[in-house]
Chain A
């Protein structure tokens, strides 16, 4: 866990409104776990005030530009422009100063060793699944079901395929892959591979649907959640979700930033999550 005062190495548009940003972050490559995230802030402006959370897409090392200089360890994020903070990020360039906190949070449990694995990504929820897939392909057969609203919301398919992941695409409007929700594909795959472990990241309604499919089949499901965050380190208690067994008398709040963002599905109170989703209209894709 580090607090970096650092620079951007590159920031490129990969699809309309979607960008990949590489940020210099020495010492992060070996410590970051799939599913962890960073808190990002541009130094160019004090607006918005709070940092923004982004899943780690991948970490890596760039060869140095000139001989004798150390190689550049980086963390890469992939983001969608949705509001004030991400609109500013979109304008940033190589060499711009940024602040980064990370790696943060509790990542995926990789104990699926040797079994069938199904990854389910909705829209930008695909991000943490890439690093996860890079690890899981070493010991498992990995399939990725990827869903988006439209063609432009389906990212990185070739990157996943290059890892050796079998990918299945579906879009709500049918502009790419099969038409319909990604959960439709999941139903089919689980019938074929009933013992598979499922990892999912995406908008709340999607995660809820995935949970509803997995639970009766006793499928081991891990989900990566999103919440509005202020601190990212468990200090403000702004990002909590209700855990299984929560009640007014015996509150069981879990910090999405610290105990999550990845949770075992059975550790969450899905009834209350669903309620929250309805109340907040919490959908982010």
Chain B
């Protein structure tokens, strides 16, 4: 679809809608890279974000992994934080009141260690006011009963999505792992099980080696790879998932600039999440939003939604 190149006099409309959410722009932080929002509030106006996604929560507080938990690699980083979080009660009492003051929808990312725990977590979330949507993390590798990774088995993925769906009264976004051969199989399974949207992707499992000590550089051994090095893989997976399902998709993985975000949108993502870039520059998301605005203006695009899925192969 050729775009008109005449610069638009009006301010381009960056707002997007999906799964019953209305966002003023398609940019939000990726879970686990933005704390509970407050951490970055001294550096940016949180009201400018499309949404705020919290650090992954479990029903009860979780200690996380031993240190070192982070290793830098070329073009990216590995992390094995181990989903340390304050738990849902502390979140509701101490973290959410701050987020409620912000004029931006709050999306709560959550996980469980077993099917029952996912169910109980969803139930608890349904009792908390002020959550616009939830994002279900099904790529936690530490699960009960023989280490089933819910995100890599279509049957298990469907089961957990079906279960939490029954407990929840807000839009359910399911976050997929790239650690699979064919991501579209999982995407279809979660669609059928009742997901309202898909986030694509979580980190890719990696290993960094301390060559002098001949040991892994992370205490946990392996960790999740994030950052720019991940981007082409993430864009490919977003494109595949967009083709495979009719659910809206949120693109995540290695976005550092507005140009990076545009790749995902053009490949068909309705929105994007920015993760590691926040560590590199706390104002990264604001720069990205401004960059999207400028790009639309330059390209004469009056609604950013006109760009979504405009990739022609």
Using a CB–CB distance below 8 Å, which chain A residues touch chain B?
1, 3, 41, 46-51, 99, 101, 227-241, 248, 251, 253, 258, 276, 279-281
Closest beta carbon of chain A to B75's beta carbon, Å: 7
- Report the Cα distance A236→B219, complex, angstroms: 16
Closest beta carbon of chain A to B66's beta carbon, Å: 7
For A3, A46, A236, the residue with the greatest tally of chain B CB atoms inside 10 Å of its CB is A236
Known: A51-B279, A230-B279. A237 touches B72 (CB 8 A): no
The majority secondary structure among interface residues of chain B is loop
The answer to whether A240 and B39 touch across the interface, beta carbons within 8 angstroms, is no
B33, B67, B282: which contacts A276 (Cβ < 8 A)? B67
User: B69 — which chain A residues lie within 8 A by C-beta?
Assistant: 228, 237-238, 240
Give 19 new A-B contacts, CB below 8 A, not counting A3-B281, A50-B279: A41-B280, A47-B74, A49-B75, A49-B77, A51-B280, A101-B43, A227-B67, A228-B71, A231-B278, A233-B282, A235-B35, A236-B33, A237-B55, A237-B81, A238-B81, A240-B67, A251-B61, A258-B39, A280-B67
The answer to whether B64 and A253 touch across the interface, beta carbons within 8 angstroms, is yes
The answer to whether B72 and A99 touch across the interface, beta carbons within 8 angstroms, is no
Known: A49-B280, A101-B282, A280-B68. A253 touches B74 (CB 8 A): no
Closest to A85 in B: B72
Known: A231-B279, A251-B64. A1 touches B34 (CB 8 A): no
User: B39 — which chain A residues lie within 8 A by C-beta?
Assistant: 231, 233-235, 258
For A51, A232, A238, the residue with the greatest tally of chain B CB atoms inside 10 Å of its CB is A238
Closest beta carbon of chain B to A43's beta carbon, Å: 10
A228, A235, A241, A251: which contacts B40 (Cβ < 8 A)? A235
Closest 8 CB pairs of A and B: A251-B63, A238-B70, A235-B35, A235-B39, A231-B279, A230-B279, A1-B42, A234-B39
User: A47 — which chain B residues lie within 8 A by C-beta?
Assistant: 74-75
- Report the Cα distance A239→B81, complex, angstroms: 9
B5 CB-CB contact with A under 8 Å? no
B84 CB-CB contact with A under 8 Å? yes
- Report the Cα distance A229→B70, complex, angstroms: 8
